[in-house]
Structure 1
Amino acid sequence: MSDQELFYLLALLKVDGVGDILAKRLLLHCGSAEAFFKTKTNQLAAIDGIGSVLLKNIKDKTVFEKANVELEFIKANTVKVSFFQEEQYPERLKHCFDAPVLIFSAGNIDLKKRKIISIVGTRQITSYGLEFCRTLLEDLAPLDPVIVSGFAYGVDIVAHQFAMDNNLQTIGVLAHGLNQVYPKAHKKYIGRMEEKGGFITEFWSSSNPDRENFVRRNRIVAGISEATIVIESADRGGSLITAHFANEYNRDVFAVPGRVTDVYSKGCNDLIKTQKANVLTSAADLIYMLNWDIENKAKPVQKQLFVALDTEEQNIYDFLIKNGKEVLDIIALRCDFPVYKISGILLKMELKGVIRPLPGKLFEAI
């Protein structure tokens, strides 16, 4: 996109009363943002959604001054800009009716043909939520998914950290411009996240992290991925709003169940109870529901002659060799592993080609 095209797009988005949905309608009708500003008033009046107030706002010349300031910021800071009609714009987000016309990004983001999941939850993450998130991302690491979250306190920053610890690309969706960090305590993560991943936002450099911006941010978190995972949530909160958006966009939603007496499991339990989310107890649940294992099953697995197994994997492999095929629960019991942990170990062994899953939650050594 040329600087001139971007300039007029920025000016269009700065017209008071023009949001993402109306902007797309205007671009479709006029052909471009520049053409919009050159279209006669009586012709614009015929467009659905244009009223007398908006026609008056279009004449406000300060939109060009504001667009120029933002364009200078973009150029000076080498901000990457994605237009919703361009190929590099996030593919899944492109199909959301209220997706941003423009996305601004920083870092090394690659979303093409990738498995992308969003992880959200309470800012008051408990040890239960933290441990579940750690195990989940360790077990998903062999599949190399992109982890998206909101860079906030609690579940968000934990998801980003564990993603980086497992060498996964992670993206923070911001509720403000790229010229600031919120919360400021998370400034220490910026450099590491931008090395493999980064940040995206629809907000200009003049935007502050105002309350209403977080709701708009949440729709991007939901829309950019194929599934949203809620790890912990009270009965109200931003993560439930994100889950709502994901349902609206016809995306898969998963929630981690908890005890009915736990405050930060109530939101998750309610999502499951009202059938607005699938139960998530392990990485295996996610892989099965999203059909991520199809590509592995489509290819015949050839066992390597010398496969490196750690002590836990070797213990399970020896058990299956001795006893033949067995169900997951029995493997966990006989090999003395908790069920939540055995799922991840079995997944790693399957990817190494030493075991294979069978119907009925059975596994056998190859």
Structure 2
Amino acid sequence: MSDQDLFYLLALMKVDGVGDIMAKKLLSNFGNAEAIFKAKSKEIAAIDGIGAVLLKNLKDKTVFEKAAKELEFIKSDNINVSCFQDENYPDKLKHCIDGPVLIFTSGNIDLRNKKIISIVGTRQITSYGTEFCRKLIEDLAPLDPVIISGFAYGVDIVAHQLAMENNLQTIGVLAHGLNQIYPRAHKKYMAKMEENGGFITEFWSSSSPDKEKFVRRNRIVAGMTEATIVIESADKGGSLITANLANDYNREVFAVPGRVTDRYSQGCNNLIKTQKANVLTSAADLIYVLNWDLENKPKTIQRQLFVELNPDEECIYNFLVKNGKELLDIIALQCNFPIFKISGILLNMELKGLIRPLPGKMFEAI
């Protein structure tokens, strides 16, 4: 996008009364932002939803001063900008009617041909939530997903850290401009995140992290991903807003179940109870629902010759060869493994081409 195109787009987004939906409607009718400002009032008035107040606001020249100032910041700080019409704009976000017209990014973000998930939850993450998140990301790492979160305290920053530990691309969606960072305590993670991933925001450099901006931020977290995972949540919280937005966008939602007495499992348990989320007990659940194990593999998978098996894998493989296809629970029982452990083993065996998953959480040896 040229500087001139960006300048007029910035100006359009500063017009009082022009939100993302109205801006897209105007751009659809006039082709570009410059044409909107140069159009005659009667041409603009002919568009459904345009009233006298908005017509007057479109004549406000102060928006050009604000646009020029923001463009100067963008150029001086090497900020990347994508319009919803651009090729490098997140593909799934394009299909959200209220997705931002412009997003600003920093770092080394590459979403092409990537599996993208968001991980959200309470700011008061427990040891249970931390360990589940660790195991989940470790087991998903061979599939090279992009991990999206909100860079906040708790589940967010744990997800970002674990993604970095597993050399996965991770992106923080911010509720403020790229000239600052919130919370400040997380500034120490910025450089490493920008090496392989980075930050996305729809907010200008003049935007501070106000409460309502976090809610707007959540629609990007939900909208640009294939699935939203809620690790832990109380019965109210921002992560539940994100989950509801993901449902509205017809995206998959997963929630980690917990004890009914645990405060930070109440939100997850309620999502599951009201059928607003799939139960997530392991990476295998996510892979099965999203069909990740089927997408990038040939229909016929041959087992590698002379593949090395550890004792656990050998036990399971021999059991499946002897007994044929079997339920995950039966495999765990007969091979004497707890469910939380066997899910990870089965995933690794699948990636090695030793077994394949079947509908109904069944597996068979190849």
TM-score normalised according to structure 2 size: 0.95
Aligned-partner Cα distance in 1 for 2:314–2:187: 42
Corresponding residue SS for 2:292: coil
Corresponding residue SS for 2:54: helix
Corresponding residue SS for 2:18: coil
Aligned-partner Cα distance in 1 for 2:360–2:165: 33
Show the counterpart of 1:299.
Answer: 299
- Is residue 162 from structure 1 mapped to residue 181 from structure 2 by the alignment? no
- Is residue 261 from structure 1 mapped to residue 274 from structure 2 by the alignment? no
Deviations 1:114-143 (A, max 9, x none): 111111111011111111111111111111
Show the counterpart of 2:182.
Answer: 182
Q: CA deviation at 1:16?
A: 1.1
Aligned residue runs from structure 1 range 270-349, under 5 A: 270-295=270-295, 298-320=298-320, 326-349=326-349
Aligned residue runs from structure 1 range 341-360, under 5 A: 341-358=341-358
Aligned-partner Cα distance in 1 for 2:189–2:313: 33
Deviations 1:287-306 (A, max 9, x none): 11111111356432222223
Q: CA deviation at 1:285?
A: 0.9
Aligned-partner Cα distance in 2 for 1:261–1:307: 45
- Is residue 194 from structure 1 mapped to residue 190 from structure 2 by the alignment? no
Show the counterpart of 1:251.
Answer: 251
Tell me whether 79-88 or 295-304 shows the greater mean CA deviation: 295-304
Aligned residue runs from structure 1 range 134-153, under 5 A: 134-153=134-153
Aligned residue runs from structure 1 range 99-118, under 5 A: 99-118=99-118
Q: Kindly tell me: are residues 260 and 347 of structure 1, through their superposed partners in 2, closer, same or farther at Cα, counting changes over 3 Å?
A: same
Q: Kindly tell me: are residues 359 and 290 of structure 1, through their superposed partners in 2, closer, same or farther at Cα, counting changes over 3 Å?
A: closer
Aligned-partner Cα distance in 2 for 1:324–1:248: 41
TM-score normalised according to structure 1 size: 0.95
What letter is aligned with 1:235? D
Q: CA deviation at 1:84?
A: 0.5
Show the counterpart of 2:93.
Answer: 93
Corresponding residue SS for 1:125: coil
Q: CA deviation at 1:167?
A: 1.3
Query: Any unmatched runs of 5+ in structure 1?
Result: none
Aligned-partner Cα distance in 1 for 2:164–2:306: 29
Q: Kindly tell me: are residues 45 and 306 of structure 1, through their superposed partners in 2, closer, same or farther at Cα, counting changes over 3 Å?
A: same
Aligned-partner Cα distance in 1 for 2:103–2:82: 5
Q: Kindly tell me: are residues 360 and 272 of structure 1, through their superposed partners in 2, closer, same or farther at Cα, counting changes over 3 Å?
A: closer
Q: Kindly tell me: are residues 56 and 357 of structure 1, through their superposed partners in 2, closer, same or farther at Cα, counting changes over 3 Å?
A: closer
Q: CA deviation at 1:314?
A: 3.9
Q: Kindly tell me: are residues 363 and 38 of structure 1, through their superposed partners in 2, closer, same or farther at Cα, counting changes over 3 Å?
A: closer
Q: CA deviation at 1:240?
A: 0.6
Q: Kindly tell me: are residues 344 and 104 of structure 1, through their superposed partners in 2, closer, same or farther at Cα, counting changes over 3 Å?
A: same
Aligned-partner Cα distance in 2 for 1:188–1:214: 21
Q: CA deviation at 1:93?
A: 0.3
Aligned-partner Cα distance in 2 for 1:96–1:65: 30
Corresponding residue SS for 1:199: strand
RMSD: 1.8
Query: Any unmatched runs of 5+ in structure 2?
Result: none
Aligned-partner Cα distance in 2 for 1:59–1:295: 51
